[in-house]
Chain A
């Protein structure tokens, strides 16, 4: 109980003083996870939309694999990227291991299946409503994809937030490929893991509270954006 109380006051202190080390960690967390969401969205959203409209042999199999990959353990994604990016691995010459870029790649790999699977689920419903109409205009699946993505944009915001939540919360992948280097690849979750191992549980918990506050803020902003935009689109 005492620990919880002191964690709370430590968290307030960290925020109130805008501790520069913490601020840097927070900014890197946001940069890495938001970039990962953007990269994953470039692949995941069109892929999910295509799966929602196209019918092809093996489609069921692809969907099963995507759904299964939603449960990919972060540390496994991290290890895969580690082995690819290691100097002894196939992409070693790029020298990307232990950089924020490696962390973006790992998180993007982790959340692309989530974005694709959730997008498919959201857009399948829309497609059922619109299929007749779009077909009557002579639009094939390829033409329907951008239309669906545009029409479903407000619902897809929730999908992106789910991806962001997963990216910002995971520690296994960024720890392995980033190396938790102070001032360079240390993000909120790896900092929390580090403080936990140093036995500074109040500070670890305080950082956790700051992380939660950030995730809540991002979600609130997205929600506000969605409401405003929906009103305008009226």
Chain B
């Protein structure tokens, strides 16, 4: 019963969309990436350049890093472009894709309400800042969604020697959503939050949120790119996907990244050819 229903749906749906030959023949790759690269406007700036040079369109699915890697594991994307080095190296080690290439970095910042109840404004040491937030039991919004930013936040708490989960449901609030919705929540609740600088710069609903802590080397945020393993998923567009990876780490791709600015401020710093700064 259900199979026949499904077949009927499929047949009708395929018939309905078959009348679009142009889109069907378009040469494209699918890239699973993060909300920070999409919502900061970076992709809107660099992808048209890549498409112009190669004739390959890029379809971006913007998710948290954990989810984006899962999409790659299932073979539903050709390329994964994310920012959680430990999770990426696991992805490569498990044979789902790779090799992993450095692309660019930016940094995280801690933002909070202007009133700053935990008095962290101007600190450069994230350990000290997070300890003060925990001691003051000041509201802190966590992404709580296995994203790259969430992983980074958990590492920072660990380095600070604080277990925020003891304040779960009270001052430590996990929203399980993307960076934007989490920032909306922090702004509404007058809470502290860890965000990548790119999303912050392009975020519009700041209310009285401002950057309070920045510049600690622990806040470094590296992005990496990997081809999904075509041996595991034969339909992966290996040649075109590799072309994208080769381009984004090439001088042309790296220049396009460096070129993207909001209000004169550069959002991402290309470092495909340099060793990663140690934290």
Contacts and interface: CB of A to CB of B under 8 A. Distances in A.
Given A95-B235, A97-B76, A198 B16 contact: no
Contact of A105 (B13, B30, B73, B74): B13
Interface stretch (B150-158, B177-185, B257-265): B177-185
A38 B16 CA distance: 10
A184 B9 contact: no
Contact of A199 (B12, B60, B73, B206): B206
A101 B179 contact: no
The residue in B39, B44, B62, B205 that gathers the most chain A C-beta atoms within 10 A of its C-beta is B205
Interface in B1-50: 5-6, 8-10, 12-14, 16-17, 23, 30, 35, 39, 44
Contacts of B233: 87
A215 B8 CA distance: 27
A174 to B, nearest CB: 13
A100 interface: yes
A88 B74 contact: yes
A179 interface: yes
A5 interface: no
B202 interface: yes
A42 interface: yes
Contact of B183 (A99, A101, A199): A199
A201 interface: yes
Range, interface on chain B: 35 or more
Q: Chain A contact residues: over half helix, strand or loop, or mixed?
A: helix
B66 interface: no
A109 interface: yes
A104 interface: yes
A200 interface: yes
Contact of A35 (B16, B44, B62): B16
A104 B17 contact: yes
Nearest to B209: A199
B39 A101 contact: no
A98 interface: yes
A95 B29 CA distance: 12
A197 interface: yes
Contacts of B59: 98, 179, 181, 184
B25 to A, nearest CB: 14
Interface in A180-197: 180-182, 184, 194, 196-197
Interface of B: 5-6, 8-10, 12-14, 16-17, 23, 30, 35, 39, 44, 59-62, 73-76, 177-181, 183-184, 187, 202-206, 233, 235
Given A179-B59, A197-B39, 6 more contacts: A39-B12, A43-B9, A86-B76, A97-B76, A181-B60, A197-B184
Closest 5 CB pairs of A and B: A197-B180, A199-B205, A87-B75, A179-B61, A199-B204
30 contacts: A39-B9, A39-B12, A39-B13, A42-B8, A86-B74, A86-B76, A87-B74, A88-B74, A88-B76, A91-B10, A93-B235, A97-B76, A98-B61, A101-B14, A104-B13, A104-B16, A105-B9, A108-B9, A108-B13, A180-B61, A181-B60, A184-B23, A196-B180, A197-B39, A197-B179, A197-B180, A197-B184, A198-B203, A199-B180, A199-B183
